[in-house]
A and B are shown apart, each in its own frame.
Chain A
Amino acid sequence: DAKTTQPPSMDCAEGRAANLPCNHSTISGNEYVYWYRQIHSQGPQYIIHGLKNNETNEMASLIITEDRKSSTLILPHATLRDTAVYYCIVTGNTPLVFGKGTRLSVIA
């Protein structure tokens, strides 16, 4: 059973913020939310992860709802190079399991 649900595709105008949602209603207390992306056939790239607090790094921000049942990855100023498949993964002590992800297309 999939632990996460993401929209299959999204578009975003270049320079605008890209907000990628993820539902994980069955998340357990010790499970983290991870985000990775894969740019065409390259190795998946780590973006950010969090447990319950919002997190920010040089690439993105992660907003996790208070009940932890959903989260949003925010790319503040999307560029054409951000076009990729974005994976939201919930994991505790198990290896990363990739679901279907969201294909983000950044449009000039």
Chain B
Amino acid sequence: AAGVIQSPRHLIKEKRETATLKCYPIPRHDTVYWYQQGPGQDPQFLISFYEKMQSDKGSIPDRFSAQQFSDYHSELNMSSLELGDSALYFCASSWGIRPNTEAFFGQGTRLTVV
């Protein structure tokens, strides 16, 4: 079965650079979630989109922005990168945002800021 696809899997950027992470949800899923997981930390919710509109906002820095496109894929744009942005970034998708629906996660993008 098709899963959530994230690209790239690994990314190395220098401080103050910009990075773009991409997420391709499971076919027919209309909701996308972004999570950040720092070293030794638990995943932290950043932002989510339902039917191409922002549905919830978590602890996403102002330097980050995201959107969901007409084909339901999503991109997380990160500017003015800081060393502390080094983390695993996970995307998840689900069908709808009802409580009774499971979300499936991709394998993540490991961002290293040097």
Contacts and interface: CB of A to CB of B under 8 A. Distances in A.
21 contacts: A32-B100, A38-B43, A42-B107, A43-B4, A43-B106, A44-B90, A46-B102, A46-B103, A46-B105, A49-B100, A49-B102, A51-B100, A85-B42, A87-B42, A94-B56, A95-B33, A95-B56, A95-B103, A96-B45, A98-B45, A100-B42
Interface string B69-99: 0000000000000000000101010000111
Nearest to A45: B105
Contact of A43 (B99, B100, B108): B108
Given A43-B4, A46-B102, A46-B104, 11 more contacts: A31-B99, A34-B102, A42-B108, A43-B107, A44-B43, A44-B90, A46-B105, A85-B42, A92-B99, A93-B98, A95-B58
B48 interface: yes
Interface of B: 4, 33, 35, 42-45, 48, 56, 58, 88, 90, 92, 97-100, 102-108
Interface in A33-51: 34, 38, 41-46, 49, 51
B90 A97 contact: no
Contacts, number: 56
Interface of A: 30-32, 34, 38, 41-46, 49, 51, 85, 87, 91-101
Per DSSP, are chain B's interface residues mostly helix, strand or loop, or mixed? loop
Given A43-B108, A44-B43, A101-B42, A96 B90 contact: no
